[in-house]
Structure 1
């Protein structure tokens, strides 16, 4: 007769196995038939994280492919500079494309260094094939891919994934390849979309109007990254359109990430008063004090997270203190320069919901770690 562990019901073993790393899970599956059955239980694989390191290569056939049918949400991590890791990620995506009707969510993440001039055609081609087959896909997150994302991918998602609820394309590529017309087609094809992440140049006045249409499901999150040359020359989005959108979706939150490529004039056109900014990340090469004061005046009711990369100065400290006094709903503030004590005092005194902050009073070794409020 087997021991107590061997006699556990399959459902209980599956609950234990779902927290094991992939290699340990494979080892457990080889112990006996009962453990093998539990290790392939859908409970184990419904929400899965896979890291395509070199050691994973020998696990692919036949064990891992046999479990792909059970995956509903997948977080797939790989290193593009390592051939084995990249090949494994590609093969997994292609294999998933043939089983895609069950897949609901996909998040891709690159780790380590990306090869110079690598366009990621193999990985992006596999993602496009998956989008063409995953008709029940609801969540697609490509923020951690370093490649230029283009119209073909967006149109594949529009044509193949009508049930999309969230799509994030606001990655750290040096070039933005998604045109506004493709976004319009996406919004028309995916009426249930609730969260969208894009580079600013991909948005348009027409997209804001379409998002405010009466037939659309409630829209919750719009993340705009402004970091490419195309973003710096994007047409301004009118304040009236933002006001209409906010009225149509009162729960809408906007995340703005402004990078050094933006001149001061572009920053001024982006920071419209009616934008319901909940997250503001400022990493500008020009004026930072002006945007902080603008946020204090116009985003006091909506701002929840603030991140600032700027040289320390008296004007910056004063602007931070003014913002703290107005933005009582702040939950996080992270300033990556040394600040004077009165800045820290201001956020502690005026922001009762503050959960974490990075406000250093003296220089420390990087990376700076935030202080968590108990």
Structure 2
């Protein structure tokens, strides 16, 4: 039975690069189908020595057909893997490239004193190249754990004024992106609707760019808060209310890192922030903060993640969340809670689809429960 080329192309689009290479060797028809643009619309290239490298050599010229590209570097200690990432980037950004979304993900052990400069330089070189006709709609650096520079982010904005989504909240220890750069990004990219960023890179002046009447609806702001935020002024509740009126569909996801002093939590978490996701990634006593979330975000909260200390007071605060936050879809609490807390979430949150709530300690990592 012969499949139409469009059907084969759709099937091949789900294959990893090496499997695409293997499929292309089956017959002439399959080899021809592998050049169909829909095969390459969404493509992840795992930069590893061995099998994926062979697939890259076979298909490097077809990478210009990729619309959404994810480059995954899993072995940063291997220079060959890093060089492969650079090669993929160069082939996917030629002048007639179709690329509109770029995601770079780096995992595994780092070489000693490695700062990712070779990868960062390659990305910036592509953005500055006159030979590249690159204009991106989405850039995702959340899983690229290197300190980003002002020049890199400015060049992203200058080269891609039609940018819709930008994620630079990559959870490194140091945030080098200034408020001046973020204001320039919002000015240069008037269609930007989703932004992931360090809290330290924002201010009321920066966010004021979103209040201009000609801007389209802004939908999501992801905030990563860490130790340097103890030195920066917080965005006031009055400003959040103003921003919320201008963009009624705005949602905010907030991660409060363990390096941030707890005294700063409730200064950042103003009642007017339309918090959709809240992660309190610390090990301190968070009863007051959990109770605050139940009171302030009952109409918006969909995901809650806690790393804190067990206590009867915490159990009571969590029951309050279950009773008030009817939109909650996920709750993950990485400390032991009572059975009463588990029942409160399962019975009181009709949209809940998965949770991590343990009544006794388990070996790490704790598994989450998925509701059918």
TM range (shorter): over 0.9
> Residue 54 of structure 1 aligns to a residue in which SS?
coil
1:67 to 57, 62, 67: 62
Aligned equivalent of 2:43, options 39, 45, 48: 48
Q: 1:137 deviation in Å? A: 0.7
* CA deviation after TM superposition for structure 1 residue 113, in Å: 1.3
Aligned to 1:154: 153
Q: 2:61·2:91 contact (CA, 8 Å) conserved in 1?
A: no
Counterpart secondary structure, 1:336: strand
Please say if 1:313 is aligned against 2:291.
no
Contact 1:47-1:72 within 8 A present in 2 as well: yes
1:368 maps to 366
Q: Distance in 2 between matches of 1:135 and 1:212?
A: 29
Partner residue of 2:335 out of 334, 337, 342: 337
Map 1:1-374 → 2, pairs under 5 A: 4-5=1-2, 8-55=3-50, 56-61=52-57, 63-79=58-74, 80-99=76-95, 101-132=97-128, 133=132, 135-227=134-226, 229-374=227-372
Residue by residue over 1:208-240, the C-alpha shift from the partner in whole angstroms, topping out at 9 and shown as x without a partner, is: 21112211111000000012x322322111111
**Deviation sequence 1:268-312 (CA, Å, 0-9, x none):** 210111000000000224441111111111111110100000121
Stretch of structure 1 that moved more, 122-131 or 274-283: 122-131
User: Which runs of no fewer than 5 residues in structure 1 stay unpaired?
Assistant: none
- Separation in 1, partners of 2:138, 2:16: 24
Instruction: State the alpha-carbon separation in 2 of the partners of residues 210 and 51 from structure 1.
Output: 38
What's the offset of the Cα at 1:134?
5.4
Structure 2: segments with no counterpart, 5+ residues: none
- Cα distance in 2, alignment partners of residues 10 and 66 from structure 1: 20
In the TM superposition, what is the alpha-carbon distance from 1:99 to its structure 2 partner? 4.0
The structural deviation recorded for 1:315 is 1.6
Q: CA deviation at 1:22?
A: 1.4
Give 1:46 deviation, angstroms: 0.9
